[in-house]
A and B are shown apart, each in its own frame.
Chain A
Amino acid sequence: MTPMVDAQNVYKSFGALDVLRGVTLSVQPGEVMCLIGPSGSGKSTFLRCINHLEQINAGRLYVDGELVGYVERGNVLHEMSLRKAARQRRDIGMVFQRFNLFPHVTALGNITMAVIHVKKTPKKQATARAAELLDMVGLSHKAHAYPAQMSGGQLQRVAIARALAMDPKLMLFDEPTSALDPELVGEVLEVMKKLADDGMTMIVVTHEMGFAREVADSLVFMDNGVVVEAGDPRTVLTAPQHKRTQEFLAKVV
Chain B
Amino acid sequence: MAAAQGNLGRVPGDEVPPPPERIRAKPLRHPGRTAWAAVIVFSLFLFIYGAATNAAYDWDTYFQYLFDQRFWQAAGITLLLTVLSMVLGVTLGVILAVMRLTPNRIMQSVSWGYVWIFRGTPVYVQLVFWGLFSTIYPRLDFGIPFVEQFFTIETAAFAENVFWLAVIGLSLNEAAYMAEIVRGGIQSVDEGQSEAATALGMSRALALRLVILPQAMRAIIPPTGNEVISMLKTTSLVTAVPYTFDLYARARDLSVETFNPVPMLLIASTWYLLFTSILMVGQHYLERHFARGASRIMSDRQLQALADAEDDNLLKDAK
Q: Which A residues are within 8 Å of any B CB, using their own CB?
A: 51, 53, 82-83, 86-87, 89-90, 92-94, 96, 98, 100-106, 113-114, 117-119, 140-141, 143-149, 162-163, 166
Contacts and interface: CB of A to CB of B under 8 A. Distances in A.
Q: Which one of B206, B293, B305 has the greatest number of beta carbons of chain A within 10 Å?
A: B293
| Chain B interface helix/strand/loop/mixed | helix
Contacts of B190: 100
Given A53-B195, A102-B196, A89 B201 contact: yes
A144 B196 contact: no
Chain A to chain B: the 9 pairs with minimum beta-carbon distance, closest first: A90-B201, A141-B309, A146-B293, A100-B196, A114-B200, A100-B192, A94-B199, A89-B201, A104-B293
A148 B295 contact: yes
B301 interface: yes
Contacts of B202: 86, 114, 117-118
B305 A148 contact: no
A225 to B, nearest CB: 22
A118 B302 contact: no
Interface stretch (B117-125, B158-166, B208-216, B231-239): B208-216
Contacts of B192: 96, 98, 100
Contacts, number: 90
Nearest to B307: A141
A163 B199 CA distance: 9
B293 A103 contact: yes
A103 B195 contact: no
Contacts of A53: 195, 198-199
Contacts of B210: 113, 117
A87 B193 contact: no
Interface in B259-303: 290, 292-296, 298, 301-302
Contacts of B294: 103, 148
A102 B193 contact: yes
A106 to B, nearest CB: 8
A92 B201 CA distance: 9
A89 B200 contact: yes
Nearest to A147: B293
Contacts of A104: 214-215, 290, 292-293
Contacts of B293: 103-106, 146-148
Contacts of A94: 196, 199
B70 interface: no
Interface residues of B, number: 31
A166 B199 CA distance: 11
Interface in B77-102: none
A166 B298 CA distance: 29
A166 B204 CA distance: 18
Given A96-B195, A145-B302, A148-B294, A102 B211 contact: yes
A82 B206 CA distance: 13
Interface in B172-219: 190, 192-193, 195-204, 206, 210-211, 214-215
Nearest to A162: B200
A46 B144 CA distance: 51
Contacts of B204: 82
Contact of B301 (A87, A144, A147): A144
B214 A118 contact: no
A113 B200 CA distance: 9
B256 interface: no
Contacts of A86: 198, 201-203
Given A100-B196, A149-B298, A140 B292 contact: no
A109 to B, nearest CB: 9
Contacts of B214: 104
Nearest to B293: A146
30 contacts: A53-B195, A53-B198, A82-B203, A86-B202, A87-B201, A89-B198, A94-B199, A100-B190, A100-B192, A102-B193, A102-B196, A103-B294, A104-B214, A104-B292, A105-B292, A106-B293, A113-B211, A114-B200, A117-B202, A119-B201, A140-B309, A141-B305, A143-B305, A145-B302, A146-B292, A147-B293, A149-B296, A149-B302, A162-B200, A166-B201
Contact of A96 (B196, B211, B295, B301): B196
B306 interface: yes
Contacts of A117: 202, 206, 210
Contacts of A118: 200-202, 206
B195 A100 contact: yes
A141 B201 contact: no
Given A53-B199, A89-B198, A114-B201, A141 B206 contact: no
